[in-house]
Chain A
Amino acid sequence: MSLKTNWRYLLQIFLSFFKIGPVTFGGGYAMIPMIEREVVQKRKWVKTKEVSEIFAIAESVPGAIAINSATFIGYRLAGVKGAIIAMTGVLLPTFLIVVALSILFLFIKDNPFVESAFVGIRAAIVALIAFAAYKIGLTAIYDKTTLVITILTAAILYFLHIHPVLIIVGGIGLGIAVVNVKKLLGYATRLDRNDK
């Protein structure tokens, strides 16, 4: 591949992901069908089977799923350069929009109408977070152990104020330990909800 077409290819990757960002409100999961349409159906860069594998991994590693998927696809298409370009493409529009909204918010937040609107919005944000807990709970809680871990985590955070980062890191070790201890005791653990 000549240097010139290489740059054109990178630009195409950048633009594909740049387009996806600004139209997907409501978090990363909203971007998944958009990414699929762009890279599978339109560009034919990746096959459907591969892209679902990419989404599965994007979900398992730390970070936002949309950004992770873009980075992963970028890497598959054009190596490290592709990964960086795709990540920048997906991040840049939302970055600019959020900065614009932050500036706007600083200007209007003392307006009495905005103040009263935000009193109501804060209650809705609690509902949004509670709903996120409900949705992830559907896949996370399916036996006694996972139920106990969930309740303990919320209680420990509320009463003991341990840093959440420690709790998350602890969660990795705890998961591995619990599965192995149960195995030693002769119990099988279903590793996710759909395991038979």
Chain B
Amino acid sequence: MLSVEEKQEIAKMLEACPMPRAGCIEALTVVQRHRGWVSDEGVIDVAALLGMTPAEVDSVATFYNFIFRGPVGRHVVLLCDSISCWVMGYENLLDHLKTKLGVEPGGTSADGRFTLLPNVCLGACDEAPAMMVDDELYGRLTPAKIDEILERYP
């Protein structure tokens, strides 16, 4: 069941859409903001609200990088893996993060704090190598700098 808040937020977003199903991505985004990720139940809830089938909603949800169909940690680390960051040392940073968090890409640390997701070009190529943690962008990374940044996310 969608909560009252979820319904209100989705309704507000649908104002910009000529038809309910055009707000499918917005609705999934709202659900994810409230629940951390989009479960099967979330897909079914959105489908019922927009007059779509769950399969239709799932086909949208699984297409996009930022709709999570599995649970994630309290914070999401998006490490840029595209060309400029690769040139500037992405592979070393990935190894560092894998060791530090004890996960493979896509995994969540045992304490539930971080999910590590390599991500396509973050548009910070002049600051490479770069990553985002939740909504915050960090550039010119080194392993030491990564350690210091992660400390800020309990």
A and B interact: no
